[in-house]
């Protein structure tokens, strides 16, 4: 499974004789996707099928769970308290663990692979969309680090 932008997939697959708009519509229809901008980050499977990646909130929930497991309850509470201070800069989680590695693991558990960087043919749109997803997941966690954990608990 590869992480790519919808636009790069369309450009790679389209028949040069067919108008791009028609081909784009066919890819969206064949993969049961809604109308999406070309910059949308998608999974491209080995069989050629395409699906949307996880929402940032899903990654944020997984990040919260993995961070809690990595640092323990009391340290997680310290992180939340320090991040809530008016003068907080960055994220206190980095003082207790490699929080980027925790976020990376959260992405990988949702089968979101990092865009490959090829210095001669890299997909700038995929990297930008991936960065936006990373930022959105971090922002979602930072906005509600305690309540997001409640969404992981089983309903009684």
80 and 145 co-located in one domain: yes
Residue where a domain stops, chosen among 28, 52, 76: 52
- Sign for the CA dihedral angle at 34, 32, 11, 58 comes to positive
SS3 2: strand
What gap in Å lies between CA 63 and CA 103, rounded to an integer? 6
Q: Which pLDDT tens digits describe the chain residue by residue (156 residues)?
A: 566 667 777 777 665 555 666 667 777 778 777 777 776 767 677 777 777 665 678 788 889 999 999 999 999 999 999 988 878 788 889 999 999 999 988 888 766 666 655 544 556 666 777 777 888 888 888 888 888 877 665 544
Q: Could you list the residue range(s) of the whole structural domain that residue 106 is in?
A: 56-150
- The answer as to whether 156 is a domain residue is no
Residues 43 and 61 in one domain: no
Cβ atoms within 10 Å of 30's Cβ, excluding its own: 11
Please check whether residues 22 and 95 belong to one and the same domain.
no
| Of residues 1, 30, 16, 2, the one with CA closest to residue 126 | 2
């Amino acid at each position: 499974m590869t992480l790519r932008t919808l636009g790069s997939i369309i450009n790679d697959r389209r028949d040069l004789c067919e108008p791009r708009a028609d081909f784009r519509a066919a890819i969206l229809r064949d993969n049961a996707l809604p109308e999406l901008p070309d910059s949308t980050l998608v999974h491209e499977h080995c069989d050629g099928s395409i699906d949307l990646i996880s929402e940032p909130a899903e990654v944020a929930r997984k990040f919260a769970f993995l961070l809690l497991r990595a640092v323990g309850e009391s340290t997680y509470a310290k992180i939340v308290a320090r991040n809530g201070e008016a003068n907080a800069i960055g994220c206190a989680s980095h003082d207790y663990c490699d929080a980027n590695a925790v976020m990376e693991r959260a992405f990988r558990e949702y089968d979101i692979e990092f865009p490959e960087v090829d210095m001669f043919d890299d997909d700038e749109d995929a990297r930008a969309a991936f960065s936006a997803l990373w930022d959105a997941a971090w922002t979602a966690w930072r906005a509600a680090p305690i309540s997001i954990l409640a969404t992981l608990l089983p309903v009684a």
